[in-house]
């Protein structure tokens, strides 16, 4: 039983193990796989051994294409719940799926257990979204979605429904249920289209769509992001629309980095930074767009481009003013990923990753990129056992 649990656990089933398993199923040598994916044979060997992190989306996608598998086949998502919080969230996902389906097919039946105060229920969703408490968040979403679905004649209720479907989108995404996240994003956009004179809401929905399109869809996510940027261009000086416009530039910067276009990525980052300096710190749609968030995204782009070593020379970033555990934790997680890429700052990397976990444990423990970084650091440090903090963190993430 213990062996079976470990086999479906993680130490024996990290991404490198899955790469080897699929490579052998496809009857490919390491050299052939390397040629197909545009990588070196030595790197493939290190990936399979688990000593080199497969924490760049571009490399993951190159391997999925070469192996003819999905990204989920590679990452192992959605993960089996190993904590009470994750199990609770997973238990409520079928009801969330049913509620999203009801929205899609025009159901307007009010739920018997719906909230009595819709405004208060939406405020609670906002708090749980920002705190990354997916267990309580997913539990309350189905009845609230159905209760709001019958209020589409009131613009305020429509805005609430856009926001709640947006929150549902990212809860499903972070829990690893990408298909459900995409369905929720599509409903978010359909509802936002009702607000014809408020482009910021349609922009928010487009942001959700961009972040849920299948990674295997090649250039589509970036094309969609650029299209949304163009649609909001005329309203970019409006405080709310401008914030969404800036966030779409940040999305495009990351997607360009995934596509290997460093110059385009830097251009979109520059545009986002210019908007942030003009608009200042903001928080339309709980996006937290502003100069601070631009710098947080910059860390993620550096990690994706494999330029993590650049963070060693960057000044520290104060994220205490951002009221989103997701954003604060992401900063420390991406800082840790960047530092780990240097292979010279593992102690600092572990400290940053531990800080991220403290801020938003549910978010960080479900991140494939963090899992891969921590697991590879532990495996390459086996001779020195990696230190107690790293071992404990890897165990909590399911990476050991």
What was the pLDDT predicted at 257?
A: 95
pLDDT of residue 154: 86
Q: What is the per-residue pLDDT across 14-35, written as a single tens digit (0 to 9) for each?
A: 888 999 999 999 999 999 999 9
Please tell me the predicted confidence (pLDDT) of residue 8.
39
**What pLDDT, on a 0 to 100 scale, did the predictor assign at position 12?**
54
In the block, residue with structure tokens 């959605």: 78
Q: Is the dihedral of CA 239, 240, 245, 246 positive or negative?
A: positive
Domain limits, the chain:
2-75, 79-212, 217-305, 309-400
Positions of the chain with pLDDT under 50: 1-11, 385
The CATH number of the structural domain formed by 2-75 is: 1.10.260.40
Supply the pLDDT for residue 3: 34
Residue 136's alpha-carbon distances to 126, 129, 139, 141, in angstroms, are: 12, 10, 5, 9
CA–CA dist 375, 372 (Å, integer): 5
pTM beyond 0.95: no
Tell me the per-residue pLDDT of 65-97, one tens digit each, with 9 for 90 and over: 999 999 989 988 899 998 999 999 999 999 999
pLDDT of residue 14: 82
How crowded is the C-beta side of 294, counted as CA atoms within 13 Å? 25
Please, what sign has the CA dihedral across residues 359, 365, 371, 377?
positive
């Amino acid at each position: 039983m213990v062996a079976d649990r470990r086999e479906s656990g993680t130490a024996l089933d990290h991404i490198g193990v899955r790469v080897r398993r699929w490579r052998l199923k496809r009857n490919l040598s390491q050299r052939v796989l390397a040629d197909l994916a545009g990588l070196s044979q030595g790197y493939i060997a290190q990936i399979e051994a688990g000593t080199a992190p497969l924490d760049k989306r571009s490399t993951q996608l190159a391997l999925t294409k070469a192996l003819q598998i999905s990204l989920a086949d590679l990452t192992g998502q959605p993960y089996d719940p190993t904590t009470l919080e994750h199990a609770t969230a997973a238990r409520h996902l079928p009801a969330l799926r049913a509620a999203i389906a009801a929205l899609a097919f025009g159901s307007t039946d009010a739920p018997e257990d719906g909230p009595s105060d819709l405004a208060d229920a939406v405020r609670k969703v906002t708090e749980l979204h920002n705190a990354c408490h997916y267990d309580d968040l997913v539990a309350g979403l189905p009845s609230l979605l159905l209760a709001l679905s019958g209020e589409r004649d009131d613009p305020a209720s429509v805005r609430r429904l856009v926001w709640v479907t947006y929150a549902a989108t990212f809860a499903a995404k972070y829990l690893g249920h990408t298909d459900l996240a995409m369905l929720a994003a599509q409903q978010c956009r359909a509802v936002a289209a009702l607000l014809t004179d408020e482009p910021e809401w349609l922009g928010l929905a487009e942001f959700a769509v961009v972040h849920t399109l299948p990674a295997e869809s090649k250039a589509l996510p970036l094309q969609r992001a650029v299209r949304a940027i163009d649609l909001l261009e005329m309203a970019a000086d409006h405080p709310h629309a401008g914030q969404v416009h800036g966030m779409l530039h940040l999305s495009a910067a990351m997607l360009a980095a995934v596509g290997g276009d460093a110059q385009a990525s830097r251009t979109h980052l520059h545009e986002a930074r210019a908007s942030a300096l003009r608009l200042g710190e903001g928080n339309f749609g709980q996006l937290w767009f502003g100069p601070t968030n631009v710098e947080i995204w910059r860390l993620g782009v550096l990690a994706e481009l494999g330029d993590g070593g650049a963070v060693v020379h960057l000044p520290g970033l104060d994220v205490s003013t951002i009221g989103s555990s997701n954003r604060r934790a992401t900063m420390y997680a991406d800082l840790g990923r960047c530092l780990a890429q240097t292979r010279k700052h593992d102690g600092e990397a572990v400290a940053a990753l531990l800080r991220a976990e403290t801020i938003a444990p549910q978010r960080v423990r479900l991140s494939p990129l963090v899992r891969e970084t921590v697991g590879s650091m532990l495996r390459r440090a086996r001779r020195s056992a990696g230190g107690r903090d790293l071992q404990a963190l890897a165990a909590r993430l399911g990476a050991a």
